[in-house]
Structure 1
Amino acid sequence: MRHLLLILAVALLPLALPAQQMWPTTKVHDGGPSNNRLDIVILGDGYTAGQIPLFHTHVTNFINHLLGVTPYDRYPNWINIWRVDVESAQSGADHPAPCYSNPILVNTALNSKYCTGGTQRCVTADTAISLATAFLNVPEYDKVVVLVNDPEYGGCASTIATSTAVHSAANEVITHEMGHSVFSLADEYWSNGTTYTGGELAQVNVTNQDAASIAATQTKWHSWLGIENVNAFEGGRYYQFGIWRPRNQCKMRSLGQTFCPVCREKITETLWSKVIVPDAVTPSPPGPYGSGGAFSVTLPALGNGTLVAHWLLDGQEVSQGTTTTVGNQTTYSFVPGPFLAGSLGTSNLDLVIEDDTTYYRKASPWEPLSTLSWIVTDAAPDYAVQNPSFATVPTRRGELFTITDTVINGGATGGPPIRVGYYLSTDTNITTSDRLIGFRTIPSLAPGASSTATTPCRIPIDGLSTLFNYHVGVIVDDEGAAYEQNEADNVAEVPGLPALDLSNTLSPDALLVPYGSPQTISFVFDAGAAHAGEDFYIFPSATAPGAGTDFGVFVGTAPFTFDPLSFMVTDGTLGPPFFNGFQGQLDASGQTVATLFKPALPNPGAGTTLWFFALTTATNPSDGSVSVPILSTVPILFFF
């Protein structure tokens, strides 16, 4: 009868939610591109729909723990971690017989259960369902971890690693279990009174040899003997005798310990094996290439320590180059041109990346990536700017204008893509420290080739002073992408810039308006005769200049934000009688008058600034593109 009641209880369980389906999936730790990283998928089991936020917390806690454990703390960007929000019909995991005298069976998506193999603490999820769920949601996955929403201590691993997520030791348990499922490490604990009599073991952290035999045969961890307390300690992989482990304590024996050097080395080696090639190599080997451009390799960024780049020309190291880290990637670059000046023929450029770490002793120094090689020549590009001129001439702040110029490569070889920058300067010495007001990019120019273009630029609204006479200049390769033996002809001033009108194009500069009485305010918008007939728009905004709205590359960022008040005028919600003449066409003098009727307002107890922004638009008849020749601002101050 007892068994009959149990069967009935199982029959009355809610229907299982389908596990092999698409679930909300998030890349919670982004180390880089999946084709070049170890991608770990974390699935939840025993979390109901209402407990998914708890699953998120458990995953976050585990990631923070894992990436603080050595060697993960050095190689955090060798790993991607994905969270898949699998929902279960019920919470927890099965607690079946024979380990439990009062079995508890629950309905979960991945069928997690304790007592696997008759060991109570061995909690496992269904491997086939877990792998199918991981593949369906993260096809690029490498390994799977299952966190179980059950408070009882437990964990186990084979193809996948499974652990309770609720117990206080959960993060350590799953880190240990990943040692099995991800890195093929053996347990280092044992049962008393047991003796192993078999052959050599596959896992790197256990052996059937004592220290003398390891040293004599140069096998297993012979390179670690005597370093960081590594020797051969009897007991491991469930046997008290006949099996030796590298160190007395290790995370594969006891929770709360560090990984021993042998396990740490295996984890490090496996992580590097996933980064089989650099994330990017520029230019693609082998060449030949001119020596004037930068050669670079991009790799995951280390969490601590450094990778060392050795750049060699014809077998001789000449530099360690430059290192730049952005986000989760580090780029190692080198320009060989200065080292080849005056040489003849071609040279071989090699890059050797060394991981300067004590975590790996199978090779010293350790070079985990293959050597990259290029063929380079001493020939270099020689860029020069010619005949810069104003296609349209600016006269005032905030005005859009265009510059026409020609860039020629007079060198013996092509170079990398470069940028041409246009700068506003307070003197005739044009440098990259001046204010960038426009730019264009040029692909690689062959020797003798040229590039002519007309580029839109804009005189800034802010930061200008009547104390200076301003100048506009052109700088070729202003970002320094190419090595040139002569850069004196890379810079030129654009002649013919008139004295700029730095007054506001809306007048007056500011109005002080009382709150309590109605008032009619008129704006004179004077864009100048050169802009006669252009469409104009005037926008009121509660946002001061500085936090602008991006209008795209051609127009740039306006000095104002389209806040709700701006939109209300733009879409016509606010119109007459409050706003009159806030859009239309400028007259033959490039002027217009806009009128604002301000009703009586309640006293707010403090002053308020209302900003008005004006712009004009012009359409290019050849391609229909719209530009903004004028941007301007003026504040209206409301005071009670």
Structure 2
Amino acid sequence: MTLAPLLAALLAAQPTPRTLRVDYVHGGDAATEMFSLDRLVLEPLPFPGNPARPIDETNLGRYLFEVRDRATNRLLYSRGFATIFGEWETTPEAKRVRRSFSESLRFPRPAGPVQVSVKKRDAENAFREVWTFTVDPADPAIDPSPPPSPGPLVELQRSGPPEQKLDLLILGDGYTAKERDKFVADARKLTEALFQKSPFKERRKDFNVWGLCPPAQESGVSRPSSGVHRRSPLGAGYDAFGAERYVLTFENRTWRDVASYAPYDAVEILVNGRTYGGGGIFNLYATAAADSLWAPYVFVHELGHHLAGLADEYFTSDPVYGPAPEERVEPWERNASATADPAKLKWRALVTAGTPLPTPWQEERFSREARTFQEERKKLRQQGRPEEEIDRLFSAQKRAEEELLGKDRYGRAVGAFEGANYEAKGYFRPQEDCVMFTRDDVPFCAVCRATLDEVIDLYAGAPR
């Protein structure tokens, strides 16, 4: 028996520790950042992560947390992640007011005291410590009591033990008790849509998929820009940061307690709504509007953000957040670059032979047509037109983009195509089209697929 299978067998023989969760408050403004401990929770279930891969070596995320044994300083666990605060601090509002957001860190309950450190990337993309604290598993303040049950767990796909698979949890928000069957049907439909896309299609057996749907008093979720407010169980709603399509929940404590009744490495929240919308934050959660015509696309696109930290490759829509052009730095995301220099391009090993860098494409025509559709869509929204009219416009845009993209000389090549990360100039994406670029029926680009495969291996792969 080689070392890797032997290590895996030894780890599997050990009892799986329960999940320890640190809830904390992350606040500040555009110039300041603060962290405060909120509570320590011992979740009801064993830790679902891969015991053979406790250390995150992907170098993904704007933040990173590490758990070290206090006695030996040995690194026990680490994960990269991103935060709502990390997005909000780049918005105009952050220059005027201070806000705080609830966040969480989860790791296997340690045998003894540990030092937990949170690190953040600096301007050169190096991780620097911004907060550290000690956790003693014997601390009587750790709360082991189970939260109220959200209802029965739905087994949407079970491929094996949670610690050997990537466990995706689909949470329903805004579904009443009478709409539970609708949630299950929505979750099954979107699960199937996910596994139609590579690399998920080829890696399907590496996933478990679960569902939980706490009953709502009213159908639907909040959409403040339309005067709709709901006290939905998970607190999800449209209009995050003033962007009508951006769906988030700021009720971290609440959805974490609900999710603790399932094994999960990744979470997608389905909101019971018709209006186009969604969101995705690396190692936090993704969201999608279940009844939108575009739900299958949004479900997969937002999971790309959440699971692998993929950047948005589009640039014609108004950004929800992001740095000013003069603050442009090399993104940590794998599928966006601030340089097309062949010696510095992060995906240079995947560039198709003979492809010029930067890579020419029909950017001017694409941008002109996209902005025309965008202006028409704004008019329809301002007029309060039915969602069906918005869908027809989206469909027309999709047909136009499918006709334009992928037909020129480098349409299928890996290169450096200018226009990405909400900027028409100065940022580059790996291929002309991708799930992270348009709503077209196209695959993930080669760089996105490779990144997704690497992350799936972190949860369902063999020891390194």
TM-score between both structures, scaled by the size of structure 1:
0.38
Counterpart CA distance in 2 for 1:131 and 1:166 is 24
SS at match of 2:215: coil
The structure-2 alpha-carbon separation of the partners of 1:240 and 1:26, relative to structure 1 and needing over 3 Å to count, comes to same
- Give the counterpart of 1:187 among 301, 304, 312: 312
Offset at 1:226?
1.1
Counterpart CA distance in 2 for 1:191 and 1:169 is 19
| Map of 2:419 onto structure 1 | 235
Offset at 1:127?
3.2
| Map of 2:339 onto structure 1 | 209
Considering only aligned residues, what root-mean-square deviation do their CA atoms show, in Å?
2.1
> Counterpart amino acid of 2:459?
K
| Map of 2:447 onto structure 1 | 262
Q: Which has the higher contact order (CA 8 A, sep 6+)?
A: 2
Q: Is the 8 A contact 1:19 1:109 kept in 2?
A: no
Q: Is the 8 A contact 1:195 1:240 kept in 2?
A: no
1:55-105 per-residue CA deviation (whole Å, 9 max, x = no partner) reads 111011011111111111101011111011321111111111xx33xx111
> Counterpart amino acid of 1:223?
A
| Map of 2:255 onto structure 1 | 130
2:194 counterpart of 1:71: no
| Map of 2:456 onto structure 1 | 271
The structure-2 alpha-carbon separation of the partners of 1:56 and 1:242, relative to structure 1 and needing over 3 Å to count, comes to same
Counterpart CA distance in 2 for 1:124 and 1:197 is 26
2:274 counterpart of 1:144: no
Counterpart CA distance in 2 for 1:225 and 1:207 is 13
2:191 counterpart of 1:58: no
Counterpart CA distance in 2 for 1:205 and 1:275 is 23
| Map of 2:244 onto structure 1 | 120
Offset at 1:195?
4.1
1:142-188 per-residue CA deviation (whole Å, 9 max, x = no partner) reads 11110011111101122211110001111110110011111110000
Counterpart CA distance in 2 for 1:272 and 1:20 is 33
Q: Is the 8 A contact 1:124 1:163 kept in 2?
A: no
Counterpart CA distance in 1 for 2:308 and 2:300 is 11
Q: Is the 8 A contact 1:130 1:144 kept in 2?
A: no
2:231 counterpart of 1:107: yes
Aligned length: 252
Q: Is the 8 A contact 1:112 1:124 kept in 2?
A: yes
Aligned pairs (5 A) from 1:196-595: 197-210=327-340, 213=341, 215-217=342-344, 219-226=345-352, 228-255=412-439, 256-277=441-462, 370=464
More strand by share: 1
| Map of 1:153 onto structure 2 | 276
Offset at 1:20?
5.1
Q: Is the 8 A contact 1:127 1:160 kept in 2?
A: no
Q: Is the 8 A contact 2:221 2:237 kept in 1?
A: yes
> Counterpart amino acid of 1:116?
A
**Structure 2: segments with no counterpart, 5+ residues:** 1-145, 319-323, 354-411
Counterpart CA distance in 2 for 1:196 and 1:26 is 48
Counterpart CA distance in 1 for 2:434 and 2:151 is 37
1:191-224 per-residue CA deviation (whole Å, 9 max, x = no partner) reads 47984652211000001111xx1x223x411111
SS at match of 1:163: strand
Counterpart CA distance in 1 for 2:413 and 2:252 is 38
| Map of 1:532 onto structure 2 | none
- Give the counterpart of 1:167 among 244, 267, 292: 292
> Counterpart amino acid of 1:273?
L
- Give the counterpart of 1:82 among 210, 225, 249: 210
Counterpart CA distance in 1 for 2:238 and 2:218 is 16
- Give the counterpart of 1:35 among 163, 174, 189: 163
Structure 1 runs (4+) greater than 3 angstroms displaced: 191-197
Q: Is the 8 A contact 1:197 1:242 kept in 2?
A: no
The structure-2 alpha-carbon separation of the partners of 1:122 and 1:20, relative to structure 1 and needing over 3 Å to count, comes to farther
SS at match of 1:223: helix
Counterpart CA distance in 1 for 2:154 and 2:437 is 33
Counterpart CA distance in 2 for 1:19 and 1:54 is 25
The structure-2 alpha-carbon separation of the partners of 1:61 and 1:209, relative to structure 1 and needing over 3 Å to count, comes to same
Counterpart CA distance in 1 for 2:274 and 2:315 is 26
Higher Cα Rg, which structure: 1
Counterpart CA distance in 2 for 1:46 and 1:22 is 13
Offset at 1:116?
0.4
2:212 counterpart of 1:93: no
Counterpart CA distance in 2 for 1:111 and 1:124 is 8
Q: Is the 8 A contact 2:150 2:213 kept in 1?
A: no
SS at match of 1:190: coil
The structure-2 alpha-carbon separation of the partners of 1:197 and 1:83, relative to structure 1 and needing over 3 Å to count, comes to same
Offset at 1:52?
0.5
Q: Is the 8 A contact 1:19 1:110 kept in 2?
A: no
Counterpart CA distance in 2 for 1:41 and 1:202 is 26
- Give the counterpart of 2:174 among 19, 25, 46: 46
More helix by share: 2
Counterpart CA distance in 2 for 1:196 and 1:91 is 44
The structure-2 alpha-carbon separation of the partners of 1:93 and 1:19, relative to structure 1 and needing over 3 Å to count, comes to farther
SS at match of 1:216: coil
Counterpart CA distance in 2 for 1:241 and 1:63 is 36
Offset at 1:131?
2.2
The structure-2 alpha-carbon separation of the partners of 1:147 and 1:197, relative to structure 1 and needing over 3 Å to count, comes to same
> Counterpart amino acid of 1:63?
T
Q: Is the 8 A contact 2:150 2:215 kept in 1?
A: no
| Map of 1:474 onto structure 2 | none
Counterpart CA distance in 1 for 2:147 and 2:442 is 35
Offset at 1:27?
2.0
The structure-2 alpha-carbon separation of the partners of 1:181 and 1:196, relative to structure 1 and needing over 3 Å to count, comes to farther
TM-score between both structures, scaled by the size of structure 2:
0.52
SS at match of 1:63: helix
SS at match of 1:263: helix
SS at match of 2:297: helix
Offset at 1:275?
2.3
Counterpart CA distance in 1 for 2:270 and 2:326 is 33
> Counterpart amino acid of 2:268?
V
Counterpart CA distance in 1 for 2:259 and 2:422 is 31
Counterpart CA distance in 1 for 2:218 and 2:296 is 23
The structure-2 alpha-carbon separation of the partners of 1:196 and 1:254, relative to structure 1 and needing over 3 Å to count, comes to farther
